[in-house]
Amino acid sequence: QCVLSCPVGALTEKECIDDVWKALADPGVHVVVQTAPSIQVTLGEAFGLPVGTKVTGKMVAALRRLGFNQVLATDFAADLTIVEEAYEFLHRFQAGQLPFFTSCCPAWIKLVEHHYPQFIPNLSTCKSPMSMFGALTRYTYHQERNLPKEKVVSVAVMPCTAKKYEAARPEHGHDGRSDVDYVLTTRELVRMIREAGIEFSELPDEPFDSAFREVTGAGTIFGATGGVMEATLRTTSWVLLGNGTGQSDKEKPAPIEFREVRGEKGLKLLHVNLGEYDIRVAVAHGTGNARRVLEAIQAGERIDFVEVMACPGGCVGGGGQPILGGRDHKKVSLDYRHDRADALYDIDSHKNLRYSHENPVVQLLYREILGHPGSELAHRLLHTEGYQDRVKDDFKR
Ligand code: SF4
């Protein structure tokens, strides 16, 4: 298992490439790979394509040629996360248990655990899309294909090294096995593609494997700061404005875009009006801005819903993404993240489905396996209550 020593996964990166090659060479195991939403707009840079080029189809083709048995988009699990998270938010909103914090960034979780443990109860219990997908694929392979759990190797291509740490956390696993066995950063994937001698630019566009192929635009924008907030507000507004009652209200459709939560500003504090409801939201990226939000809450400011992504720009700016070598870093530092995020929003704007709860495969999953958002099985597979006060651990060091 890949291990990190830095609490936010920024200082030590243990590579998993050899372990993944070994699994791919083993005919006795089924190797499933998932790719985070941001990878499709950053991978191409390493092969000379302009920043923000969408290479979804070539990325899938490359992973197939590397030998992965199944190639899946984490965007699907992001849709699932949003449904679980929106219902959790609504439940806490109605119960007055606010503020509510997103939980898909492991470096943000570590910041809370080590420096602000009093806010642990405010964190969503939803695991990240990566961990949800790992648990779900192992469960469904076992239930439906009768594949023993130990025969399924779960690999994730992620934008950061902190995800390696997240995968190694004991609560992100079942029966002594991690939900995700190996996490490769985008840069590690680049190395594997090069080692295999694959001509990336010559690859055809190929679709993801059919299981869980359906993804909405809401699942895709997770890769940019504000994306989780916007995706959650889409489904939350659908419920709060009455559309969630099952009575389609064509006169008053729930809003799709919440542009005010997008963009590079490090901390956005906003009121979002959803009918009779006023929700005070905070969107922060970078740990300095995360601290500002927490300190504002400590000082008594009312904030209902907080999204924090530890990397500047969100996952498009993750520490495992391609480094724009040879360019003036200062000059491109804002632009390149902006261009990558724009590419995600462009994918979203061209999708027929842009609300996570409209994902037909997510709906099928609830009908046939999970029951309903927040069900007992959903909690067992998709949630965790394993966050801990780690301040005392820091004193022991
Ligand atoms: Fe990883 Fe950074 Fe994304 Fe957090 S914001 S999940 S640390 S890439």
Q: Is 85 considered catalytic here?
A: yes
Task: Please give the average per-residue pLDDT across 148-162, as a whole number.
Answer: 93
Q: Which residues of 65-103 are buried (b: 16+ CB within 10 A; e: fewer)?
A: ebebebbbbbbbbbbbbbbbbbbbbbebbeeeebbbbbb
Report which ligand 1 atom has the smallest distance to the Cα of 161: 1
Proportion of the chain above pLDDT 90, given as a percent:
78
Q: Residue 50 Cα, ligand 1 centroid: separation in angstroms?
A: 22
Q: Is 171 considered catalytic here?
A: yes
Whether pLDDT at 249 is above 60: no
Q: Residue 9 Cα, ligand 1 centroid: separation in angstroms?
A: 10
Q: Report how far apart, in Å, the C-alpha atoms of 77 and of each of 86, 166, 283, 294, 359 are.
A: 14, 16, 21, 28, 11
Report which ligand 1 atom has the smallest distance to the Cα of 321: 8
Q: Report how far apart, in Å, the C-alpha atoms of 214 and of each of 77, 238, 287, 338 are.
A: 10, 20, 33, 26
User: Among 42-56, 142-156, 242-256, 276-290, whose mean pLDDT is lowest?
Assistant: 242-256
Can you name the residues that pair with 354 across neighbouring β-strands? none
Q: Residue 106 Cα, ligand 1 centroid: separation in angstroms?
A: 7
Query: Which contacts of 200-203 are long-range, i.e. CB under 8 A and separated by 24 or more positions?
Result: 200/44, 200/47, 200/55, 200/58, 200/62, 201/47, 201/48, 201/49, 201/58, 203/57, 203/58, 203/61, 203/62, 203/65
Q: Is 264 considered catalytic here?
A: no
Protein residue with its CA nearest to atom 4 in ligand 1: 105
Domain 17-315+334-379 part of CATH 3.40.50.2300: no
Task: Please give the average per-residue pLDDT across 29-44, as a whole number.
Answer: 97
Task: Please give the average per-residue pLDDT across 240-260, as a whole number.
Answer: 69
- Which pLDDT tens digit goes with each residue over 63-92? 999 999 999 999 999 999 999 999 999 999
Catalytically annotated residue among 13, 85, 188, 214:
85
Question: Where does ligand 1 bind, in terms of residues with CB under 6 Å?
Answer: 105, 107, 159-160, 162-163, 309-311, 314-315, 318
- Which pLDDT tens digit goes with each residue over 327-382? 544 545 557 899 999 999 999 999 999 999 999 999 999 999 999 999 999 999 99
Report which ligand 1 atom has the smallest distance to the Cα of 8: 7
DSSP secondary structure of 231-293: HHHHHHHHHHTTGGGT---SSSPPP---GGG-SS-SEEEEEEEETTEEEEEEEEESHHHHHHH
| Residue 251, pLDDT score | 54
Q: Report how far apart, in Å, the C-alpha atoms of 278 and of each of 293, 297, 303 are.
A: 19, 17, 11
Q: Residue 144 Cα, ligand 1 centroid: separation in angstroms?
A: 32
Q: Which of 105, 172, 187, 340 to mutate to test the pocket of ligand 1 (most atoms within 8 A of CB)?
A: 105
Residues 227, 135: Cα–Cα separation, whole Å: 23
Place of tokens 């070598």: 325
Query: Which contacts of 247-254 are long-range, i.e. CB under 8 A and separated by 24 or more positions?
Result: 254/355
Q: Is 88 considered catalytic here?
A: yes
Whether pLDDT at 392 is above 50: yes
Residue 154's pLDDT band (cuts 50, 70, 90)? very high
| Residue 10, pLDDT score | 47
Indicate if ipTM > 0.90. yes
Cα–Cα–Cα angle for 100, 218, 307, nearest 5°?
25
Mean pLDDT of the chain: 90
Q: Is 6 considered catalytic here?
A: no
Q: Quick one: 257 exposed, middle or buried, by C-beta within 10 A (0-12, 13-18, 19+)? A: middle
User: Among 76-90, 219-233, 251-265, whose mean pLDDT is lowest?
Assistant: 251-265
DSSP symbol at 133: H
* 296 half-sphere exposure, CB direction, 13 A CA radius: 20
Would strands 30-35 and 173-174 be described as parallel, antiparallel, or unpaired?
Answer: unpaired
Place of tokens 């609490």: 7
Catalytically annotated residue among 2, 16, 104, 311:
104
Report which ligand 1 atom has the smallest distance to the Cα of 314: 5
Would strands 305-309 and 100-101 be described as parallel, antiparallel, or unpaired?
Answer: parallel
| Residue 2, pLDDT score | 46
Q: Is 163 considered catalytic here?
A: yes
